[in-house]
Amino acid sequence: MKSECEHKCGINAAVEIIGSRWNLLIIWHLREGTLRFTELQKRIGDVNSKTITKHLRDLERGNIINRVVFPEVPPRVEYSLTEYGMAFLPVFEAINKWGATLP
């Protein structure tokens, strides 16, 4: 029996982009504004650089975040939510509110 949502329904598309724990935490912290890599890593906590870099790239490919590299020494890279990423925030706030009620 084929699922109604087998190929490309909205929930599958959303989970593809934002479905990981790390992606959700990155979005959560970027909702407050632009952050540099080290600031983001400190806020997230127990995550190594390789993991956070992979997830930042995934979110950038999904057009959820912007990555801006400044031509400075040492290099400065800043991350922020795109307009598309910010459109997710009301849903995210609802998930956060619901999660806070769990036992």
DSSP-assigned letter for residue 87: T
By the 8 A CB rule, do 72 and 64 touch? no
Give the number of domains in the chain. Answer: 1
Count of CB atoms within 10 A of residue 82's CB? 16
Asked if residue 2 is part of any domain, the answer here is no
8 lies in some domain: no
| Domain presence at residue 59 | yes
**Residue 4 forms part of a structural domain:** no
- φ, ψ of residue 66 to 5 degrees: the values are -100, 145
Domain coverage including residue 54: 14-100
Q: How far apart are CA 35 and CA 37, in angstroms?
A: 7
The answer to whether residue 51 sits within a structural domain is: yes
**Residue 7 falls within a domain, yes or no?**
no
Q: Tens digits of per-residue pLDDT, 55-96?
A: 999 999 999 999 999 999 988 999 999 999 999 899 888 988
What is the percent of the chain where pLDDT is above 70? 92
- Contacts of residue 25, defined as CB under 8 A and 6 or more positions apart, other chains included, come to 44, 47
Answer whether residue 42 is part of any domain: yes
Strand spans (E) along 34-97: 35-36, 65-70, 76-81
Residue 20 in domain: yes
Q: Looking at residue 1, what is its pLDDT?
A: 46
For the entire predicted model, the pTM comes to 0.83
- Residues in contact with 35: Cβ distance below 8 Å, sequence separation at least 6, in sequence order: 29, 43, 78, 79, 80
CATH of the domain at 74: 1.10.10.10
